[in-house]
Chain A
């Protein structure tokens, strides 16, 4: 596709349930990032993938959060036993290469997660 695609666009889930969020990066982009944006706030880093490896997962807030990437393409962010404080927009971005190669990071539209 032409841009970064995220699904679902909206997700409402009950507290305690698990959710999976999907990101399809731009084809050929080896770097992939997940960010969280709470209402009215800036972007909070969660995890960075280079290829299928995650050299920086320092932003994952707890062990309820995990992410994987396969085929140097699709990534899924999984939140187990969701809590109300997990409600936010989850944004995915991809970038052409490692380091300064292809500096621009393109963002998807995000998945708006609401935990009730």
Chain B
């Protein structure tokens, strides 16, 4: 069993839709949770970072962490074609010796 599971998609939505991306994990030591966006042939860029359980909002993006269920989510409101990319969840224990990544969900926002 992988430590981090993520539905690979692809997920196709119309412009303006609310997008929900999710990951589950098995290691209860994870404390830091991140979402990266990766455009084709580019390196991942950090979108959101959350410590422990709770919600965090940044513009159109909201990250949620439920440690009791070992489940994290990223919501994108008013999705735009420029949001079309692969979204990777990542998590780490407190020592940050490594980040554990999901396999990524490919999102396509149609104009």
Which residues of A does B touch, CB under 8 Å?
4, 31, 33, 35, 40-45, 48, 55-56, 59, 91, 93, 95, 98-100, 103-110, 112
Contacts and interface: CB of A to CB of B under 8 A. Distances in A.
Interface residues of B, number: 25
B45 A42 contact: no
B98 interface: yes
B6 interface: yes
Interface of B: 4, 6, 8, 32, 36, 41-46, 49, 88, 90, 94-104
A37 to B, nearest CB: 9
A104 B36 CA distance: 11
B58 to A, nearest CB: 13
B96 A45 contact: no
Contacts of A105: 46, 99
A56 B97 CA distance: 7
